[in-house]
Amino acid sequence: MSAAGAAFDTEAVQRIRAAIAGARSVAVLTGAGMSAESGIPTFRDALTGLWAKFDPQDLASIEGFRADPQRVWDWYAERRQGVCRAEPNAGHRALARWAREHPGRMCVVTQNVDDLHQRAGQPDVVRLHGDILWLQWLDECIERPACDATATAVPGRPPRCKRCGNLARPAVVWFGEMLPPAALERAEQVAASCDVMLVVGTSGAVWPAAGLAGRARRAGSTVVIVNPHDSDIDGEARFVLRGTAAQALPLLLA
């Protein structure tokens, strides 16, 4: 369905647009649904074919990686290829266009590990769950200065450091790992200080990201949820639009 064909409440859309227009600061929290419209399946939706027999913990945890590094590396290599093939959708472009036209007034906090916001031209993006296209070392490097994963890793499945032998892994947050402290701190600051928060394409089931909408609401922000499905945090919103990012965001940010 196109943005023009989506059945949104006209009065709600007008009130949301007015709130955005008058906002000094707009925060945007995006989840897997945002990227799904660009053809990037959610983590669990990607567990098909060869990968259907694996528990998610086998493919997204330190323990799973240590048990079978090649299997986990190959899984992420396949996902990276999908990210590289994907293109930003109308929702990504609408956010980036608004941010460029209103410098310093929008910050996107994303749970997604792709680079679609950046490729759309979004100037301010906080990445809570990392970057699937980058590498980091599995273990802390013992060399001083520390080896650079982009410079000293030699090709392999997975790559290994030619200096210290350390294994490279995707620079994403796995089960049981903490979010990057600086990213989480910035996200919480943005949520606590924004006038409007758009929550787009997230189930609201993954914490601590799911708590950002509640933080924004308690601080007096107008919280707007854009999602074709129910989410666990619908109760935090002043407005809920049942549609996708590509349908709703061009309309709200026109």
Residue 2 confidence (pLDDT) above 70:
no
Q: Per residue in 69-128, pLDDT tens? A: 999 999 999 999 999 999 999 999 999 999 999 999 999 999 999 999 999 999 999 999
Told to judge if 117 belongs to the known catalytic residues of this protein, a careful annotator would answer no
Average pLDDT, the chain: 94
Q: Per residue in 210-241, pLDDT tens? A: 999 999 999 999 999 999 999 999 999 999 99
Residue 43 confidence (pLDDT) above 60:
yes
Q: Per residue in 158-187, pLDDT tens? A: 999 998 899 999 999 999 999 999 999 999
Q: Which residue has the tokens 């059945």?
A: 7
Residue 134 confidence (pLDDT) above 90:
yes
Tokens of 4: 């023009």
Q: Which one of the listed residues 92, 117, 129, 229 is annotated catalytic?
A: 129
Q: Per residue in 52-83, pLDDT tens? A: 889 999 999 999 999 999 999 999 999 999 99
Residue 24 confidence (pLDDT) above 90:
yes
pLDDT for the residue numbered 6: 59
pLDDT for the residue numbered 5: 45
pLDDT for the residue numbered 150: 79
3-state secondary structure of 43: coil
**CATH code for the structural domain at 1-39+88-129+179-254:** 3.40.50.1220
Residue 152 confidence (pLDDT) above 50:
yes
pLDDT for the residue numbered 3: 43
Asked, as a colleague might, if the bond just before 145 is cis with ω within 30 of 0, I would say yes
Q: Is 168:148 a contact under the CB 8 Å cutoff?
A: no
Residue 1 confidence (pLDDT) above 60:
no
pLDDT for the residue numbered 4: 43
pLDDT for the residue numbered 45: 87
- DSSP β-bridge partners for residue 240: 225
User: Sign of the C-alpha dihedral, residues 50, 54, 59, 65?
Assistant: negative
Distance CA 176, CA 55 (A): 15
Asked, as a colleague might, if the bond just before 228 is cis with ω within 30 of 0, I would say no
Q: Per residue in 44-57, pLDDT tens? A: 888 887 788 899 99
